[in-house]
């Protein structure tokens, strides 16, 4: 019997899968949403993947290694879905596609090992023999490659099996995808490329580099010797803000998910992503946390009823009402987009603004109103028509009354003599003018008076229609179950994902009474008082110092405030200094004796 090792007693237990309870339903709903977003993200990159495939197909046989660099705007860790798709697309052109993650690339031997296993799997897919580790070399790798090509050639030659097989591809290629080039050590990358180059005659290799930096950075990594054997073509992913905006649209219009994001959360998320972090992984993580936080605050029964329609009549009704409002919102925002200038109004903003109470006073509405007033007949006609067409194209017509009234408006635009002045009937005879002053004022009035045409009336009617429709719209906050259905924890999310730790620490140390809840140390943030806790007092004193702080001077001022020069106060002071060092405000320095260095300035 072996003696048990300590490491053996360490177990990793997989949590049991939740049985068919409410939890599993939440999870499946969430997974649906997540996979939807990821799938969309991959779909956005279809062009890119196709381009890479054609590049590899058309690349002539040459002395250089054919390399495609995929440049992603956001971090590479988001892109695993895209690499997966790319790998599966590339397997159409060749059998051997290997993906190397950063973990595989920490040394040359680990790269070879990974490739070796992939090759062996490709050579005999059914029963790969166990191979000794000493056999894992580049030389043997090439041998296996030769074997694979030979097998492939034989398979194509045997006409019985594959009569209808397509004419053979010119030769088997190996495509190696290195997912994050910048994380691979330059020496390893260079050696790897040189080795591949040496075997290029026997083993045709293509490389795919994924990275989130410029292609220049690859050149910076490699020496001339290596860069001269890579024929690099760069492929750029679609702009990140665009992709993200579309992902947000997907989130807003997602009807399958019973919970919705409130405009505040939504705007915060949008700002966070655009200002700080483009990463999709972070975005998904934030959504997950937002959802978890929300689920904690809401009554369990309501949530369960929301996720499983048919349990509670009241909840179902509320849910239906919310659903109707959503449709109404969507329809209205589509109409507004169709009418407004495409640059100034976008769907997402419009949709979010409509959720608020005072949309009629908002900038968007005013813009649209102004645009309508300036539009010519033809332009107005075409915009309305395009809206109608789009609505009819979509599967269901959501709001027939709105549609009908718009159709009616269009009919009026076609029928009437639009330029006819309606204000004509008001007589403008200047016969009874008695004085020069009167004439002047009348002329002025006539000039100021707008020429009201029938077109203007139609426009007025359109605006009136929009206004009444917006007014008839029930804002989500006025509906039942608003707090349950809408996720509204923007503040909490901010604290989690974008915390301002420095200001919190400063607040805690400057006004400790907030945290300690005691009356004795209630001071303003700039005041000093003997009753303050030692660390707080030391902190406040150090704020007045320069870059170098003399410990003795510091102690002296500490003791003066304390009015205490006992040994206990020295001990307390030293402990406070140590605590400040731990928090990172000061650090001991060797540049000057008996001094410590201050590390923070203002907000830096």
Partner 1 sequence: MLLEPLVGRQEQLEDLETLLGLECGIPVQSVYVYGDSGSGKTFCVKHALRGLNHVWLNCIEILMPRCAFSSIINSLKVSEVLEKLEDITKLTSCDTSSDFIRIFTQTLPIDEKLFIVFDDAHRLRDLDLLTFFLRLQELSKRQVCCIFISTVPFSHLVSTTDFFWPHEVHLPNYSQEELCGVLIQAKAHGYSDEFYESYVKLVISMFKNVTTNAKELVHIAKTNFEYYAAPCKLDPDIQSNSLKLWKNIEPYLKNAMDTVYLRDTDARCGNSDGSKMAVKQIIELPFYSKFLLIAAYLASYNPASTDKKFFVKRSNREKRKSSAIRKQKPNYHLLGPRPFPLNRLLAIFHAIVDSPVEPRTVLSSQVSSLVHHKLITQAAARDPLSEPRYKCCVDFDYITAIAKTVKFPVVEHLEDFNM
Q: Does 507 bind partner 1 (CB under 8 A)?
A: no
- Binders of partner 1 among residues 557 to 586 (CB under 8 A) are 584
Nearest residue (CB) to partner 1, 138 versus 336:
138
* Of the residues 89, 93, 101, 234, which one makes contact with partner 1 according to CB under 8 A: 234
Q: Does 213 bind partner 1 (CB under 8 A)?
A: yes
Q: Which stretch binds partner 1 (CB under 8 A): 160-168, 237-245, 354-362, 455-463?
A: 237-245
Long-range contact set of residues 578-587: C-beta below 8 Å, sequence gap at least 24: 579/535, 580/535, 580/538, 580/539, 580/542, 583/505, 585/539, 585/542, 586/542, 586/549
- Binders of partner 1 among residues 241 to 270 (CB under 8 A) are 241
Element (H, E) at 200: none
- The Cα 431–Cα 317 span in angstroms is 69
Q: Does 125 bind partner 1 (CB under 8 A)?
A: no
- The Cα 226–Cα 197 span in angstroms is 9
- Binders of partner 1 among residues 162 to 201 (CB under 8 A) are 182, 191, 194-195, 198
Q: Does 236 bind partner 1 (CB under 8 A)?
A: yes
- The Cα 492–Cα 502 span in angstroms is 17
Q: Does 504 bind partner 1 (CB under 8 A)?
A: no
Nearest residue (CB) to partner 1, 213 versus 346:
213
Nearest residue (CB) to partner 1, 16 versus 129:
129
Q: How far is the CB of 107 from partner 1 (least distance, A)?
A: 9
3-state secondary structure of 17: coil
Q: Does 525 bind partner 1 (CB under 8 A)?
A: no
Q: Does 590 bind partner 1 (CB under 8 A)?
A: no
Q: Which stretch binds partner 1 (CB under 8 A): 79-87, 89-97, 220-228, 302-310?
A: 220-228
Q: Does 597 bind partner 1 (CB under 8 A)?
A: yes
Nearest residue (CB) to partner 1, 69 versus 333:
69
- The Cα 120–Cα 57 span in angstroms is 24
Which distant-in-sequence residues (6+ apart) come within 8 Å of 415 by Cβ?
none
* Of the residues 109, 308, 344, 428, which one makes contact with partner 1 according to CB under 8 A: 109
Nearest residue (CB) to partner 1, 217 versus 382:
217
Q: Which stretch binds partner 1 (CB under 8 A): 12-20, 32-40, 88-96, 225-233?
A: 225-233
Q: Does 437 bind partner 1 (CB under 8 A)?
A: no
Nearest residue (CB) to partner 1, 123 versus 433:
123
Q: Which stretch binds partner 1 (CB under 8 A): 207-215, 308-316, 386-394, 403-411?
A: 207-215
Q: How many residues of this chain interact with partner 1, rule: CB under 8 A?
A: 76
Best CA proximity match to 172, nearest among 124, 197, 206: 206
Q: How far is the CB of 75 from partner 1 (least distance, A)?
A: 8
Long-range contact set of residues 23-30: C-beta below 8 Å, sequence gap at least 24: 25/307, 25/308, 26/295, 26/303, 26/307, 29/256, 29/257, 29/258, 29/307, 30/288, 30/291
**DSSP structure class, residue 16:** P
* Of the residues 35, 472, 500, 560, which one makes contact with partner 1 according to CB under 8 A: 500
Phi then psi dihedrals of residue 210, to 5 deg = -100, 135
CB 95 within 8 A of CB 172: yes
Q: Does 229 bind partner 1 (CB under 8 A)?
A: yes
- The Cα 237–Cα 243 span in angstroms is 10
Binding mask 43-72 for partner 1 (x = CB under 8 A): ---------------------x------x-
* Of the residues 7, 395, 400, 601, which one makes contact with partner 1 according to CB under 8 A: 601
Token match 């300690």: residue? 516
* Interhelix angle 46-58/22-44, nearest 10 degrees: 50
Q: Does 224 bind partner 1 (CB under 8 A)?
A: yes
CB 175 within 8 A of CB 145: no
- The Cα 190–Cα 227 span in angstroms is 9
Q: Does 497 bind partner 1 (CB under 8 A)?
A: yes
CB 66 within 8 A of CB 231: yes
User: Quick one: CA torsion of 127, 132, 138, 139, rounded to 10 degrees?
Assistant: -90
* Of the residues 162, 220, 323, 592, which one makes contact with partner 1 according to CB under 8 A: 220
Nearest residue (CB) to partner 1, 108 versus 543:
108
Please classify residue 277 by burial: count the beta carbons closer than 10 Å to its beta carbon, then call 0-12 exposed, 13-18 middle and 19+ buried. Answer: middle
Phi then psi dihedrals of residue 433, to 5 deg = -75, 130
Q: Does 377 bind partner 1 (CB under 8 A)?
A: no
Nearest residue (CB) to partner 1, 21 versus 60:
60
Nearest residue (CB) to partner 1, 212 versus 333:
212
Q: Does 503 bind partner 1 (CB under 8 A)?
A: yes
Q: How far is the CB of 297 from partner 1 (least distance, A)?
A: 25
Q: Which stretch binds partner 1 (CB under 8 A): 143-151, 166-174, 469-477, 535-543?
A: 143-151
CB 233 within 8 A of CB 68: yes
Q: How far is the CB of 579 from partner 1 (least distance, A)?
A: 15
- Binders of partner 1 among residues 306 to 335 (CB under 8 A) are none
**How big is the chain, counted in residues?**
604
């Amino acid at each position: 019997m072996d003696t048990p090792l300590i490491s053996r007693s360490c177990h990793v237990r997989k949590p049991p899968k939740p049985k068919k309870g409410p939890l599993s339903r939440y999870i499946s709903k969430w997974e649906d949403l997540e996979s939807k977003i990821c799938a969309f993200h991959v779909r956005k990159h279809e062009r890119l993947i196709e381009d890479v495939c054609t590049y590899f197909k058309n690349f002539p046989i040459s002395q250089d290694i054919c390399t495609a660099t995929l440049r992603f705007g956001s971090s590479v860790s988001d892109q695993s879905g895209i690499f997966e798709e790319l790998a599966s697309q590339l397997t159409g052109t060749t059998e051997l596609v290997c993906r190397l993650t950063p973990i595989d690339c920490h040394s040359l031997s680990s790269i070879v090992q990974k490739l070796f296993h992939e090759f062996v799997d490709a050579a005999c897919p059914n029963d790969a023999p166990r191979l000794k580790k000493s056999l894992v070399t580049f030389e043997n790798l090439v041998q296996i490659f030769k074997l694979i090509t030979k097998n492939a050639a034989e398979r194509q030659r045997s006409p019985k099996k594959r009569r209808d097989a397509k004419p053979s591809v010119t030769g088997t290629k190996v495509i190696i995808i290195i997912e994050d080039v910048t994380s691979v050590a330059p020496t390893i990358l260079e050696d790897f490329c040189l080795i591949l180059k040496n075997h290029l005659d026997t083993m045709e290799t293509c490389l795919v580099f994924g990275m989130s930096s410029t292609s220049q950075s690859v050149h910076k990594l490699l020496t001339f010797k290596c860069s001269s054997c890579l024929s690099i073509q760069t492929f750029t992913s679609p702009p990140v803000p665009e992709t993200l905006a579309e992902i947000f649209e997907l989130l807003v219009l997602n009807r399958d998910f019973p919970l919705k994001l409130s405009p505040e959360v939504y705007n915060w998320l949008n700002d966070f992503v655009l200002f700080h972090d483009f990463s999709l992984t972070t975005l998904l993580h934030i959504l997950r946390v937002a959802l978890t936080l929300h689920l904690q605050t809401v009554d369990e029964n309501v949530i369960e009823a929301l996720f499983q329609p048919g349990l509670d009549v009241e909840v179902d009704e509320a849910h239906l009402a919310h659903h109707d409002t959503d449709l109404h919102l969507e329809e209205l925002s589509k109409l507004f987009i169709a009418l407004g200038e495409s640059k100034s109004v976008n769907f997402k903003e419009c949709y979010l603004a409509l959720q608020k109470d005072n949309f009629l006073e908002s900038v968007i509405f005013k813009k649209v109103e102004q645009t309508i007033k300036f539009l010519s007949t033809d332009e107005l006609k075409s915009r309305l028509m395009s809206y109608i067409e789009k609505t009819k194209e979509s599967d269901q017509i959501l709001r027939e009354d709105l549609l009908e009234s718009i159709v009616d408006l269009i009919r009026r635009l076609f029928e009437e003599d639009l330029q006819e002045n309606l204000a004509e009937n008001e007589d403008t005879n200047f016969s009874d003018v008695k004085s020069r002053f009167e004439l002047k004022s009348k002329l002025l009035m006539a000039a100021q008076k707008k020429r009201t045409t029938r077109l203007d009336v139609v426009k007025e009617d359109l605006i009136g229609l929009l206004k009444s429709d917006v007014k008839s719209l029930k804002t989500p906050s006025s509906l039942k179950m608003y707090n349950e259905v809408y996720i509204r924890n923007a503040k909490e999310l901010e604290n989690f994902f974008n915390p301002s730790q420095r200001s919190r620490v400063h607040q805690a140390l400057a006004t400790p009474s907030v945290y300690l809840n005691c009356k004795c140390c209630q001071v303003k943030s700039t005041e000093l008082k003997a009753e303050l806790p030692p660390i707080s007092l030391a902190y406040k004193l150090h704020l007045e110092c320069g870059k170098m702080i003399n410990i003795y001077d510091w102690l002296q001022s500490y003791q003066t405030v304390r009015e205490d020069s006992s040994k206990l106060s020295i001990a307390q002071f030293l402990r406070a200094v140590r605590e400040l060092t731990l928090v990172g405000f000061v650090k001991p320095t060797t540049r000057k004796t008996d001094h410590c260095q201050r590390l923070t300035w203002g907000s830096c």
